[in-house]
Amino acid sequence: MRAKAYAAGTVLNALPTGIGSAFGIEMHTVVELKPSEEIKVVVNGIERKSIIAQRILQSIKVRAEVLVESEIPGGSGLGSSSAFVNALICAAKKMRGERLDAFEILRANARFSLEAGISYTGAFDDASASLLGKFIVSDNRKMRLIRLDDFEGYSAVLIPNFGRSRVDWKKLRENANEVKKGVDAAKKGDYCEAMRINTEYICKILGYPLEIAEQGWKKGYCCGLSGNGPSYVAFGSRNEMEELEEIWSDYGKVYVRKVANRPAEDVVIPEAIFERFDD
């Protein structure tokens, strides 16, 4: 049984305030489950130990070999963990013949991610963009969506030739007022402005080069740091993203892909997933 999920590009990092925003990018993680007495995880041909895979399959009462093919680099700020968990939960539910309820899947993703210590906030924003595509704004503390917006266009993704900085989550939260305008912009659907404010803040705290984003801003493009880095992402027309690809190629490997504008799987999106139905 197979299922897939998308990469997630960041508009607004949820670490400072609990409010996050992201969009789906057509870079895929595909999980295939094969019935087996032993739970084993093989990622891009290499066997890996995965505590979160063990927990998920045991909780759903599925025993299987987990075969993973992923285009999303791990630890890149592109939601690789969220994509893996989404695809694994969806594949397990399909194997059991269960309905793919997006709210149920995303809440389970956040819960497992927090329990396994692979996310500071549960990454409900990344998980939502990875499963649903489109542009989303979420309250990660309540595990609810604030917005879900269509976007027909492309994304440029830079995997830079430098590594990830140490994430000082306490420092990110101490100065959270500095991104309040970014939160307000995201809630209004002004994703470009939210991305700019977020990037200036996160780059300053974590020490990433702001000049990479500034190269795009000078051209009027919407771009910024993704997640906790080190990747940078942008969105716009194909021509804009191809021009940005040329500019960013000096900093590392650049991919131009479509922004995902439909769910990765045939999920049901219940009204309860939205903030106005908070209980």
pLDDT single digits (tens) 195-214 = 999 999 999 999 999 999 99
The answer to whether 199 and 210 are in contact (CB under 8 A) is yes
CB under 8 A, 24+ apart: contacts of 107-110: 107/143, 108/56, 109/82, 109/85, 110/140, 110/143
How much is the pLDDT for 277?
A: 52
- Return the amino acid letter for 255: Y
The residues near 63 (Cβ < 8 Å, ≥ 6 apart) are 35, 36, 37, 38, 39, 57
Model confidence pLDDT, tens digit, residues 17-34: 999 999 999 999 999 999
Rounded to whole angstroms, the Cα distance separating 142 from 98 reads 25
Model confidence pLDDT, tens digit, residues 138-154: 999 999 999 999 999 99
> What whole-number percentage of the chain has pLDDT above 90?
88
Rounded to 5°, the CA angle 50-129-68 comes to 30
Model confidence pLDDT, tens digit, residues 164-179: 998 888 899 999 999 9
- Domains of the chain are 2-150 (3.30.230.10), 154-258 (3.30.70.890)
How much is the pLDDT for 197?
A: 98
How deeply is 252 buried, as exposed, middle or buried, from its count of CB atoms within 10 A (0-12, 13-18, 19+)?
middle
What pairing do the DSSP bridges indicate for beta strands 64-70 and 40-43? parallel
- For residues 43-51, give the mean pLDDT: 92
Model confidence pLDDT, tens digit, residues 240-272: 999 999 999 999 999 999 999 999 999 999 999
pLDDT at 69 over 70: yes
Instruction: Output DSSP code: residue 133.
Output: -
The residues near 169 (Cβ < 8 Å, ≥ 6 apart) are 15, 120
This prediction's pTM: 0.96
Rounded to whole angstroms, the Cα distance separating 23 from 200 reads 19
3-class state of residue 217 by DSSP: helix
